[in-house]
Amino acid sequence: MQNNKKHILITNDDGIDAPGIRFLWEAMAPFGDISIVAPSSEKSGAGLSLTLWHPLHIEQVKWPLDTPCWKVSGTPADCVRMAMGTLLKKKPDLIVSGINKGSNAGRNLLYSGTVGGVIEGALRNIPGIAFSCGDFANPDYKTAQKYVAPIVNYLLDHPLPKGSLLNVNFPNKPGEIRGVKLAKQGMSYWIENPDERLHPEGYPYFWLGGKWDIHNEHAESDIELLSQGYAAVVPIHISELTDHREFENRKADFENYFNR
């Protein structure tokens, strides 16, 4: 671990009162100057969404060790934006998010507010790590917490390229983590499973619901490694989103199509 203290921003999508953020703060406290900016209520599934149609309200929250802490009436991405634009006096060296209740493995990361907060930092070239527990009903934060500091230490000693982040998921086997593996992002995710109900006034309404959409997974995917009891750490790069193979393959044909 590097000896110089770091300025670390903590956020999440389960909200400022979620237990997971306390476990994350405890793990991060020895690293240096910690600031917390998190949603005032749960924002699971918020992804990278922003609050545009009503104002954001910010309230300072009392936190142990006089850690600077605020809750924001918005999404995790809102929290990082307000941290950068209003609340923090200096740019953080690292953003960590979580510890989330429920998995963000596979393609679920695209919907995840936990990951969304870290992406908002990565867009600004601030490295970040999203931490999630696979068990939604009874997450084992205490076991997951033991791995947070070593993963952060590794990242500080071996920095990611600009625009990159780590997506970390812990398996749904409390107390039985077999080890930590670098993984590829899996393909499986939760798809819709609408539940239609009838309003007392006679019209239908729906809960979106969800069911697990299983794909054939690579042996080194986070989905497969989690099923074997490993914590899975996936490097994600969001700075360049262009599909370069398709760009090169289609450029001439595409432009000829519109200029013939």
Strands 179-182 and 230-237: parallel
Please give the CATH architecture assigned to the domain spanning 6-188+217-258.
Answer: 3-Layer(aba) Sandwich (3.40)
pLDDT digits (tens, 9 = 90+) for 1-49: 444 789 999 999 999 999 999 999 999 999 989 999 999 999 999 999 9
**208-237 core/surface letters (b: 16 or more CB in 10 A; e: else):** eeeeeeeeebeeebbbbbbbeebbbbbebe
260, pLDDT greater than 90 = no
**Phi then psi for 206, rounded to 5 degrees?**
-135, 145
- Which tokens is 198 given? 């009838």
So what's the pLDDT on residue 133? 96
What percentage of the chain carries pLDDT values higher than 90? 80
So what's the pLDDT on residue 215? 79
What percentage of the chain carries pLDDT values higher than 70? 96
So what's the pLDDT on residue 195? 84
Interval 160-177 mean pLDDT: 89
Confidence grade of residue 190 (pLDDT, cut at 50, 70, 90): low
pLDDT digits (tens, 9 = 90+) for 111-164: 999 999 999 999 999 999 999 999 888 999 999 999 999 999 999 999 999 999
Check: CB of residue 72 under 8 Å from CB of residue 78. yes
So what's the pLDDT on residue 207? 81
Enumerate the domain spans of the chain: 6-188+217-258
